[in-house]
Each structure stands twice: as structure tokens, then as C-alpha cells.
Amino acid sequence: MSSNRHVVIIGNGIAGITCARQLRKLDEQVRITVISGESTYFFSRTALMYVFMGHMKFEHTQPYENWFWEKNRIELKEGWVKTIDFTAKNLLFQSGENTNYDELVIATGSKPNKFGWPGQDLQGVQGLYSKQDLELMEENTQEGVQRAVIVGGGLIGIEMSEMLAYKKIPVTFLVRETGFWDNVLPKEESELVGRHMREHHIDLRLNEELDEIISGPNARVKAVRTKGGEEILCQFVGLTAGVTPSIDFLRNTELEVNRGVKVDFGFQTNIPNVYSIGDCAEFHEVPAPDRKSVEQVWYTGRMHGETLGYILAGKKVSYKPGVWFNSAKFLDIEYQTYGTVPAKWDSEKIKSFYWEHAGGKVCFRMLMDPQGRILGINNLGFRLRHEFFDLAIREKWDGAKVISKLDKANFDPEFFAPFYIEIQKAYKGQFGGDVKISKKTFIQKLFGASV
């Protein structure tokens, strides 16, 4: 492998940047360039909402100080790539400039889904993915918005409603399905989140679908009409029905694409020396039975980048994700999941244990195989330890063993209510078996920590 080769990465999101950093760690010589039209410096996309709400400034979302890139000799190039000449190994920018590469990494991420709704391109209608989207949303909500409508029941939708709530803009939230995010969350969890949204005065409409976005004067949104025929007056519409790989400029080239750029487990595309990672990559087959061929999560982007960094440094590795995990925050309620917990399951083949706190804001679910071995968990409203469940699920611990050791899995701050004791009691009541119930610690007794 030539040591002064030039690796060019299109996209400075978590996948592209992790790849660049990992490669630099392993290879002192290689020339690395990261291209982005969105922003010069890497920032955390997931934090855009906090900038809107004034929790942070945009610069706070940048995980590395600006000198970091020069120090690590990672060249940053601002610009949008227009076309790629795969034969000449050359990129043409929209500005007319061009750049040669020896190896190319496509990490262009996603863009919000638009399903061809009438009026989807009106002013005041937008998704939320990029820095530019954030700026647009600030502009769109500057003044005169009496009501906003959010379409699509996922994570970005609830983030957007929280952002609008900061500006005291009432939100109507249209969800096509019967529950919030119910293609991911089981019924009880979905209902818990739905209740919490309503507690925050979000007008959550389940089983309600967008039919048309109606234009007012100046091509600005005036209202939306639902499939049920209701017309909701609004001055802002958030389209948050998922995201799709952002690879329009790669379609109709010799690069093999489907929904995303087709890659193998070495992130190799059909063209030699061209790779793709992150949201925009699509595996030929799923990386694991509980995973999808397009993985659009922060953590998978990071793992893709990390793995490709090794590959580009000449290590013989391929993508092999471990136990699944994810997290989110629904307004005030945190959510974590470890292992496999689908939205629905066959109760013949899978046993489910579910506990919910009387307050209705904290819950725990564990799925087990017919032998009672842990498959995965969901927890909302309290925190559990990644390391613990990574091990328990990997080693297929018996459910009773997991529950008995739940105090070790607790990741809530000191003095917090020991929910794990209630969970242990509930599990013992439901499944019996050899479950050890933890005692309250001295400190918990002293400060009257109760559930």
C-alpha cells in the first residue's frame, strides 16, 4: 500500500470523521481530506435541537476544537461534490474545482423523506437533518406561527415538537400508525411516550395521515388536510417521516446503488477503492438478523467509520457489529435499549416481562427466549448500564440471573429511587424462580429513597 496515497472522504458526519480519525491513528503517512458542504467543522447532528432551544451554541456541538484538524493533518475542504469521475479518480465540485483521490469514502448521510405530498415544497414546510435545516427552521419559526403540524411519528418528530414548544408554538402531531414510534416501540412503551407527549400539551393524533399541505399567499403553508378530511390551520409543517440516503448525485453512474450505496461487509462498493459508510451505505445482506441493511443510527455510523479506518490502514477486518443498543430522549423521558426488542413478537416463541412504575413514566421490559434466556431490554425513565447488558445478552444469561443482578446494572445517579428492587419483586411475582431481591442500601434508607 502506497504510504502517500490520498484518501478522500465525502461527508464530515460521525461516520466520515470517525473513519478519518481512526485512519490517522493507524497511519501517519496517508493524506486525508474530508469534504463537506454543510459545515467546515464536524458537529454533532443530534445536538442541533439544543442549539435551537438555546441550551448550547452551535460551536458547542463541535466535539473537537478547530486546531485539532490541522494538528492531526486531516484536511478539511468545504464544498459540495457535483460529480465523480470514477475512472479518472477525480471529484468535481459545484464550484468548478476538482480533486484527485486514490481511495474514496462516500459518507454523505441522509436527507428527510418526502413522499410526494401535495405542497411538500411550500415555504414553512421542512424536515430537520442538516445545519441548513436548523437555520431554515429558525427562520421559519421567527414570527407569525400560531400552530405547527408535525408529520411522522419518530425521533426527529418529537425533537421538533420539543423545539417548537420552546418557542411556545402549539403542535399537532400526526402519526399514521396506532401508536407513537410503534414500528420500534412495543405497545406499552409507545403508550407511555404518548402520554408524556400529551402531558407536554402536544396534540398527538394517532391513526391520522397527511393528505395535503395547503398553500396560502406567497406559496407559504396555510393549513394541512388530513386523510380524515380535517383541515388544520398552521404556519409551519415539520416532515419527519424518516430519512433516506442522500446519494442523488451518485444515481445513474457506474456505482451500484439501491436505496443506498451497495457495499459488502468491508464497505467496498462495486468500484475498487471506493467505499461507503454510515447512513448512506446499504449492505448486500443484513449484518445480523436483528439489523437492517441500511443502518441510520449515530452509533452504527461511528462503528462503520471505525471499522473502515482499520480497513483503509490495511488491517484484515470486516464489519461485525456486537449486541445492538440505542438510546433516545422523549422530552423528559430517557430511553435505552440493549439487545433485540422488536415492536411485536410471537408470544409462542418469546416471553416478555414488563414492569411499569405507578407514576407511568418509568418502565422496564425484558424479552426472553422460550428457555428464559435474555434477548433484549427496553428501559424508559431510568438508566441502565451498557456493559452489564452487553455481557448478559452476549452470554445469554437466564432472565432470573439478570434480574437478580439488576442492582449492578443500575446507572441512575446516587440517591435516586431504586427502581430495580420493584422490578425484581414484579419479576418474582410473575415468573417466580430463583430471584434475589436487593436490599436498600444504607444511603437509600437514610435519605428515604422510595420508588
Partner 1 sequence: MKVIQKLGILLFLVGLTVFTAMPFLGNYTLTEDLVLANTKDIHQEKMAEILSPMFGETYTSNFSFIAAFKENFNSYNDPLKEESKWDEVIWDDYSFPLAQASVASPVRDNPWLFMVLSLGIAILGGLMYNLPKYREEPAGIKNNGIFHSSMKNRGWMGMITGAYLILFYIILYWFPAYIVNQVWMMTPLSMILSGNPASQWFLYGTIYTLAITVMGVRMFRKYRGNKYQQLRTASVMFFQTAFAFLIPEILVLLNQPYFDFKNIWPLDYDFFYDYQIDTFLSSGGVGMFMLIWGILLIVIGVPAFTYFFGKRWYCSWVCGCGGLAETLGDPYRQLSDKSLKAWKFERVIIHSVLVLAVVMTALTIANYFSGFALLGSATNQLHSFYGFAIGSVFAGVVGTGFYPFMGNRVWCRFGCPLAAYLGMVQRFKSRFRITTNGGQCISCGNCSTHCEMGIDVRWYAQRGQEIVRSSCVGCGVCSSVCPRGVLNLENGPEKNRINEMPIIIGNDSIKIHA
Using CB under 8 A as the criterion, which residues of the chain lie in contact with partner 1 when the complex forms?
14, 44, 46-47, 50, 53-57, 60-63, 65, 166, 196, 199-200, 298-299, 302-303, 306-307, 310, 315, 317-323, 325, 327-329, 331-332, 334, 336, 383-387, 390, 411-417, 447, 449
Select from 168, 137, 360 the least CA-distant residue to 236: 137
Give the 3-state secondary structure of residue 36.
Answer: strand
Q: Which is nearer to partner 1, 292 or 315 (CB)?
A: 315
- Whichever of 270 and 327 has its CB closer to partner 1, that residue is 327
From the CB of 396, what's the least distance to partner 1, in Å? 16
Alpha-carbon distance of 402 to 394, in angstroms, equals: 12
Closest distance of CB 198 from partner 1, Å: 11
Nearer to partner 1, 52 or 427 (CB): 52
Residue 214: CB minimum distance to partner 1, A: 31
Nearer to partner 1, 44 or 352 (CB): 44
Of 65 and 121, CB closest to partner 1: 65
- Between 367 and 409, whose beta carbon lies closer to partner 1? 409
Distances (CA, A) of 188 to 66, 173, 195, 216, 361: 45, 19, 11, 40, 11
* CB nearer to partner 1: pick between 135 and 334: 334
Greatest alpha-carbon pair distance for the chain in Å reads 72
- Cα-Cα-Cα-Cα torsion 20, 25, 28, 30, nearest 10 degrees, comes to -20
| CB-nearer residue toward partner 1: 31 or 386 | 386
Closest distance between partner 1 and the C-beta of residue 258, in Å?
23
Which C-beta is closer to partner 1: that of 97 or that of 332?
A: 332
> Which residue number, 48 or 224, has a Cβ lying nearer to partner 1?
48
- Give the closest residue to 44 by CA, choosing from 298, 243, 278: 298
Q: Which is nearer to partner 1, 82 or 385 (CB)?
A: 385
Q: What is the DSSP string of 77-135?
A: EES-EEEEETTTTEEEETTS-EEE-SEEEE---EEE-----TTTTSBTEE---SHHHHH
What DSSP string runs through 365-433? EEEE-TT-BEEEEEEESS-B-HHHHHHHHHTT-BHHHHHHTHHHHB-SPTTS--HHHHHHHHHHHHH-S
203: cell is 396534540
Q: Cβ 185 to partner 1, closest distance in Å?
A: 16
Residue 243, all three cell numbers: 430519512
Minimal distance, residue 451 CB to partner 1, in Å: 12
CB of 315 to partner 1, least distance (A): 7
CB atoms within 10 A of CB 271: 17
Query: Which is it for the CA torsion 374, 375, 376, 377, positive or negative?
Result: negative
CA 221 to chain centre: 28
Query: Quick one: CA dihedral 224, 230, 233, 239, positive or negative?
Result: negative
Name the residue nearer to partner 1 (CB basis): 183 or 450.
450
What's the rounded Cα separation, in Å, for the pair 111 and 114?
9
CB of 401 to partner 1, least distance (A): 20
3-state secondary structure of 42: coil
Query: CA 358 to CA 63: how far, in whole Å?
Result: 39
Q: Cβ atoms within 10 A of the Cβ of 297, count?
A: 19
CB of 320 to partner 1, least distance (A): 5
Give the Cβ contact number of residue 215 at 10 Å: 17
Distance in Å, CB of 157 to partner 1, minimum: 16
Q: How far is the CB of 411 from partner 1 (least distance, A)?
A: 5
CB of 408 to partner 1, least distance (A): 11
Beta bridge partners of 75: 33
